[in-house]
Amino acid sequence: LVSRSVVKCVFEGQDYLFVSMGDGGVVYFPAEFSTGQLGQRKRVVLGTQPTTMRPFNTSSSFNIFVCSDRPSVIYSSNQKLLFANVNFKVVDCVCPLNAAHYPDSLIVVTKSVMTFGKVDDIQKLHIRTVLLGETPRRIAFDDVSSTFGVLVDRETETQVSRVKMLA
């Protein structure tokens, strides 16, 4: 496989080396740039077509935009690398832009469109665990009552399934 781009960077005090590949993958290594040591190789698939990377800064953080048929942004939070999808189908090229009328912006180029945009701050995901005691099979949400319905399987003598309502 042929590498497409290489980014050497620091996320939250940790050195990294990223290499985008021709098969849609990105290989990355935690590193120690002062000694030239590379850590354990890791790989993530961010598309099915060749990927290229472009580093950029927002007012609060350093990020890497991955151009491909499934564009993504690589960033770090709490000493962990995260890979976020971008709401474009295919991105051919991206360029950071920091001008008076476009602070902390990006120019995103597709086959037929050039878009000026801005990356939103990454939102936190709030998770609450609900112990069901059974195996969940389906979930649905009712807007009117703001209620989730969960279809679960419970192994009993009669093999009966039931629905639990969660508010």
Give the pLDDT confidence score for residue 128 in this predicted structure. 56
Give the pLDDT confidence score for residue 124 in this predicted structure. 43
Q: What is the CA radius of gyration of the chain?
A: 21
Q: Give the span between the Cα atoms of 133 and 99, in whole angstroms.
A: 55
Across residues 24-50, what is the average pLDDT?
A: 93
Q: How many other C-beta atoms can be found within 10 angstroms of the C-beta atom of residue 142?
A: 10
1-5, 53-57, 141-145, range with greatest mean pLDDT: 53-57
What's the pLDDT tens digit per position in 119-130? 766 544 444 556
The verdict on pTM exceeding 0.85 is: no
User: Does pLDDT of 164 surpass 70?
Assistant: no
Residue given tokens 């000493």 in the structure block: 79
Which residue has better confidence, 100 or 120? 100
